[in-house]
Chains A and B, each alone.
Chain A
Amino acid sequence: MRLAVTVTNHADRILLELRGNLDASSAYVLRDVLRTQARKVAGKTMVIDLAQVPFVDSTGLAALVSGLRIIQLNKGRLLLANVQEEVKRIFEITCLDQTFEFVEDDSVDDATPRETHRLPAADAGNTIV
């Protein structure tokens, strides 16, 4: 299952909606997006919606950890939204559930979208929509 990332810029937050497995073959897509978006996150919150992500492995986890570090350096805040129960286990195994902030659906969509940014397609195997 390929990974697609949709980026939506809200007034006070940046929403990243992921769809697909976040694993070694696809984690670079998220890394690239996080690298680009982290500059815009100063003073804002970035929400990564994982509702459509059925699987995360350690490489995907490392991409999220890397994103968290960059966002914290830029004085931003990172929220992981709608994480599936099975996906949560890898956070628990690595004790990173104490490091990340998790939210459920209700708290994601309380801001009016200002701009939806669609990224160009990446190279073979993965797409950014």
Chain B
Amino acid sequence: MSAQGQLLRSIPSTLQYLLERSQLWPLPLPPGHTLHLLDVDPAGQPLGVDSLPSWLASLVNEVAHLREGRSLDAPQVAAAEPLYSHPDASLQGVAVLVGPAAVTLMPPLSRLLERVAVQEYELDESTRLIQDAFDQIVFLLQASSLVTSDRTFREILQQILQAAMGLLQADGGAILFADPELPAILANVPGGQTHRGELFALVAEWSTPRCCQADLWGPEIGAECPEAACLDRLSPVLQRQIRSLVGVGIGLGGEAEVGFLLFNKRGKAGFQSGDREMLSFLAQQIATVLRREHLAAQQRLEQELEVAQQFYHAILPDALPALPGGSRMAVYSEPAWDVGGDFHWISELKEDEICLVLGDAAGKGLPSAFIMGQSVTILRSVAHLDGWTPARMLSHAQDLLMPTLRNAELLITAVVGRLNVQTGRYLYADAGHGYSFLRRARTGEVKRLPATGIPLGPMQQDRINSRVVELEPGDALLIVSDGFVEAMSPGQMPYGVDRLMGFWGMSPAVPPGQNLQRLVGSVWQFVDRPYPDRFHHQDDLTALLLQYRPPQGRQPDAQQVSRRFQGTLAQIPHFIDWIRGVAMAVQGWTLADQHNFVLAAMECFTNIVRHAYRDGSVQGSVTVSVKARGSIVRFRCVDKGAPFPSDRWGGWRQVAPPGISARGGYGLFVMNRLADRVHYRRRSKVNTWQMLFVRPQDQGLIPGRGRNEWFHSLEAPAPSAELRNRILESEIT
């Protein structure tokens, strides 16, 4: 029986026939639902269409009663679709979805019903045309089932696009993605790929691209699309070939569209308003495909990440070499993500010599991890070769990595050092890293070792130099990644180099592993996040600490640090960060103790800059040293500026504060109130200020008045066991 023959009988029966023929019958419906295609008796009374919902419900019941001899309750009618032979004609039938839940007919199904009904009315059309239209609609229905098929992402989208083109009778179509990495899917777009960018720019310029329609030519131009002016940007070639455009955004639930579905027509017949509904449905189908693809990609990424993690941990050492002569080493490594860009490698090269590598591939995550893997591999491959200085090793890495870094648009900073553990000769090269610090045991002075070259990157660099530092027994070397100095406090202040130098300089004489714990703990305290709450929004953290041989003679039990500052106002921000770091490192101090110490120290330093060096107009330096022994902390400043005026000496010891009418004197008063002892001495044109601080419970150790009431207990958090476990320490030999 021909389709036309079926069409002559009734619309519902024709539909059922066609659906069966295309093997789409029974249709996939929600559980517990059935679809009934009911026709109105042609001989019956023509029905008006005044109030659709109630009328439809009663109609359904009536038809069901006639046909099936039973009545359906209105609530059982989940959805109903009127079937007309033509929009202007009388009702021919009803498609009824019966079931427990209120659902709507699927858009393709509604479309299918409507389309076939209209075609039935236009019987003068050939059967072939009817069949073509029907096939397109069926194809669209099948697009729904494609979503769950095992075809590739692109194949599915291609088929959906083709089906939609047929349905809309469009001449060209495209699925354009907001992500420029994803190639567009085009069908009969004039010029093909060459116009992709142009079309995309056009789409991007639509301020509200959820659904636009515009005729490019004719008097109605821009009538339906206020943004149609942007169509002028199309090249004349494209304008000649496209007459009408219709598009709809593809969204995944977020605010931004992830893509755009676009169709054009070259003929006079433009798009119809009903086409938008169809496009919206298609966009939903495409979004479903994209979600599925996204999920699959995520699963692939997780698998890749697992491999990358294995790779990452394989690259990084899981043990440190034993160092002769009592030297000790510890390493801490914490990637911001599951894999990071920081890297380190430590190896025994030959007797008495070790090689240290610490670097940072810019960025985080997988790309950085792979670059860092390459870097370590290259450096390892040449480390054991005779005559290869750290500078030569880094230059070699630069040559080999340059193409990769150019493609990935990444930079690498790295320090490579070779230490002779017998002589203490440390030869290093630093490609733009700049976070190596040397602490002298004798003075407690911390020096920042300068970079000797620029970062490894996509451009050939002139030269990386090597530099020699002679370590003495007890000296320590600290190399950290930028994650330490760039860690941000809740108030968006960086931890900073000055604070790091102050804190580490004041480190107690304990094994390097414990000192690393303290350092890491101070960073976590600074950012106000308890370990192990990771710095997911921040950077990888890597630190390498090497203690070069025990100091000769008796092991000092004091914490001691010193630093020289220029006597200028510009040094004050550096001083305050440094002294804060020092205060954080004093063992047993509460946060209030720290703050009082910082305030008093700041007043002393400021006093020297402002008065001894007259706000920096007289050049000179201030050497600041802090020493903690037992419960007493001594702060000392030495300068060669103008002497403190003797006429003010007695005055600042006053008990009463200066008051609102005083022009100055607050600083000395504050020092006097906060420190347990304040001394000033001038000898041989050298000024020495000294303040002593004692813990409240040890006040009895210093005769005289007690501490003031500003101290209260706010203990800083101790490093957790989990943090301690992340520190890798060398064995003692």
Contacts and interface: CB of A to CB of B under 8 A. Distances in A.
B221 to A, nearest CB: 45
B660 A59 contact: no
A24 B673 CA distance: 19
A68 B603 CA distance: 22
A62 interface: yes
B667 A89 contact: no
Contacts of B659: 95
Given A1-B493, A21-B576, A23-B606, A94 B669 contact: yes
Nearest to B669: A94
Given A57-B602, A58-B606, A62-B664, A93 B569 contact: no
B670 to A, nearest CB: 5
A40 B331 CA distance: 59
A107 interface: no
A89 B596 CA distance: 9
A58 B595 contact: no
B664 A57 contact: no
Interface string B553-584: 00000000000000001101100100000000
Interface string A25-53: 10000000000000000000000000010
B666 interface: yes
A23 B605 CA distance: 11
Interface of B: 491, 493, 569-570, 572-573, 576, 592, 595-596, 598-599, 602-603, 606, 609-610, 657-660, 663-664, 666-667, 669-670, 673-674, 708, 710
Contacts of A57: 599, 602-603, 606, 667, 670
Nearest to B665: A58
A92 B606 CA distance: 20
B670 A93 contact: yes
A94 B670 contact: yes
Contacts of A92: 710
A24 to B, nearest CB: 4
B572 A58 contact: no
B660 A89 contact: no
Contacts of A94: 657-658, 666, 669-670
Interface of A: 1-2, 21, 23-25, 52, 54-55, 57-59, 61-62, 65, 68-69, 86, 89-90, 92-96, 99, 124-125
12 contacts: A21-B573, A21-B576, A25-B572, A55-B598, A55-B599, A57-B606, A58-B606, A59-B606, A86-B592, A89-B599, A93-B710, A125-B573
A21 to B, nearest CB: 7
B234 to A, nearest CB: 44
B440 to A, nearest CB: 28
A62 B493 contact: no
Given A55-B599, A62-B663, A68-B660, 16 more contacts: A2-B573, A21-B576, A23-B572, A25-B572, A54-B491, A55-B576, A58-B603, A59-B667, A86-B592, A89-B595, A89-B599, A90-B670, A93-B710, A94-B669, A94-B670, A125-B573
Contact of B666 (A21, A61, A68, A124): A61
A89 B592 CA distance: 10
A101 B592 CA distance: 24
Contacts of A99: 660
Contacts of B573: 1-2, 21, 25, 125
A22 to B, nearest CB: 11
Nearest to A55: B576
A24 B572 contact: yes
Contacts of B596: 89
Nearest to B571: A25
A24 B670 contact: no
A125 B615 CA distance: 14
Contacts of A54: 491, 493
- Complex A-B, nearest 3 residue pairs according to Cβ-Cβ distance, in ascending order: A58-B666, A58-B667, A25-B572
Contacts of B664: 62
Nearest to A65: B660
Nearest to B494: A1
B660 A25 contact: no
A96 B669 CA distance: 13
Contacts of A68: 660
A99 B606 CA distance: 25
A52 B492 CA distance: 10
Contacts of B708: 93
A69 B663 CA distance: 11
